[in-house]
């Protein structure tokens, strides 16, 4: 469904029973990601939770009015919380979606029941780690020009973003499957302007380390052992900074344990939420 939030139409899906605790799940990869990934992963919890997934401003099939700042994207999450009518919500996100879940939580701590983070980072230190991991890989021979354009936010148009995405996708999974890579390439919505903004404007300034210790909500941090782009060290930093955060490392996963170890990851997230939120708890109304 189309929902207008802050003068921008977003494509939104609501899954699960009315009245259940609300989970807002943020997708990663601005300009490349969409609601499809959080729908597949958090949709598994829709038997007990009210799950809201959406294409962020400038991604998927949502409208793309700028700016594509963290401030604007966090404000859009707040608009979605108000629209769904929940006083407090669980915020979830993987990769760049984890950046946004944390950005929202430090801005609106009174609105967050719990945080579920996957393969993410508290600052931009992951970028240097990712570059080193990519250059050290023996999996594929990287075209360093394409690699540089996508990492630096210098893609030329949607077609170029597609080719650069194809170049780095082999790095993501624990087990490389060229057929799956090509399937992902063709399934992606490409919005190069959003991607470029995220990596030229937002990432150089991204650093939440000094604000994370103020969080008081329960926090689950999950990560794949072989994650190349937001390595385990990034999740360890989050877990160290956030009081009482829980860290779970999935040993047979790359950047996507919600896919590569789906059953174990889902059981981990469900167990955490059932404990700290309770599937039978009311969502609350604003």
Q: pLDDT tens digits, residue range 103-145?
A: 999 999 999 999 999 999 999 999 999 999 999 999 999 999 9
Q: H helices then E strands: how many in the chain?
A: 11, 8
Going along the chain from its start, the domains and CATH numbers come out as 2-126+201-276 (3.40.50.1820), 128-189 (no CATH)
Asked whether the whole model's pTM tops 0.75, one would answer yes
pLDDT of residue 286: 33
Q: With b meaning 16 or more CB within 10 Å and e meaning fewer, what string describes 262-278?
A: eebbbebbbebbeebbe
pLDDT of residue 285: 39
Is the predicted pLDDT of residue 253 greater than 50, yes or no?
yes
pLDDT band at 151 (very low <50, low <70, confident <90, very high): very high
Mean pLDDT of 263-282: 88
pLDDT in tens, 24-39: 999 999 999 999 999 9
E strands in the chain: 2-5, 8-15, 22-26, 50-54, 89-94, 112-118, 219-224, 246-250
161-204 pLDDT per residue, tens: 999 999 999 999 999 999 999 999 999 999 999 999 999 999 99
Flag whether pLDDT at 94 surpasses 80: yes
pLDDT computed for residue 284 by the predictor: 44
Q: Hey, which residues does 246 pair with through a beta bridge?
A: 220
Strand bridging mode 8-15 / 22-26: unpaired
Q: For residue 243, how many other CB atoms are within 10 A of its CB?
A: 12
């Amino acid at each position: 469904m189309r929902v207008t939030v802050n003068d921008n139409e977003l494509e939104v899906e609501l899954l699960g029973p009315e009245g259940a605790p609300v989970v807002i799940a943020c997708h990663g990869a601005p300009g490349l990601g969409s609601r499809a990934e959080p729908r597949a992963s958090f949709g598994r919890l829709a038997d007990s939770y009210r799950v809201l997934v959406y294409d962020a401003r400038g991604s998927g099939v949502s409208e793309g009015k700028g700016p594509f700042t963290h401030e604007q994207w966090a404000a859009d999450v707040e608009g979605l919380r108000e629209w769904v009518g929940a006083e407090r919500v669980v915020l979830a996100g993987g990769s760049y979606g984890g950046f946004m879940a944390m950005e929202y939580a430090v801005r609106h701590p009174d609105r967050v029941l719990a945080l579920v983070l996957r393969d993410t980072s508290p600052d931009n230190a992951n970028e240097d780690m990712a570059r080193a991991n990519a250059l050290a890989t023996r999996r594929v021979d990287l075209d360093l020009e394409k690699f540089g354009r996508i990492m630096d936010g210098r893609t030329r148009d949607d077609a170029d973003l597609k080719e650069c995405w194809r170049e780095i996708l082999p790095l993501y999974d624990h087990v490389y499957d060229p057929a799956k890579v090509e399937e992902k390439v063709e399934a992606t919505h490409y919005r190069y302007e959003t991607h470029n903004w995220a990596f030229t404007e937002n990432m150089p300034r991204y650093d939440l380390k000094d604000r994370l210790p103020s969080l008081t909500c329960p926090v689950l941090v999950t990560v794949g052992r072989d994650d190349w782009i937001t390595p385990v060290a990034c999740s360890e930093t989050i877990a160290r900074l956030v009081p009482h955060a829980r860290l779970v490392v999935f040993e047979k996963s790359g950047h996507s344990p919600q896919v590569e170890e789906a059953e174990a990851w889902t059981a981990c997230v469900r167990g955490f939420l059932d404990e700290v939120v309770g599937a039978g708890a009311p969502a609350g109304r604003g």
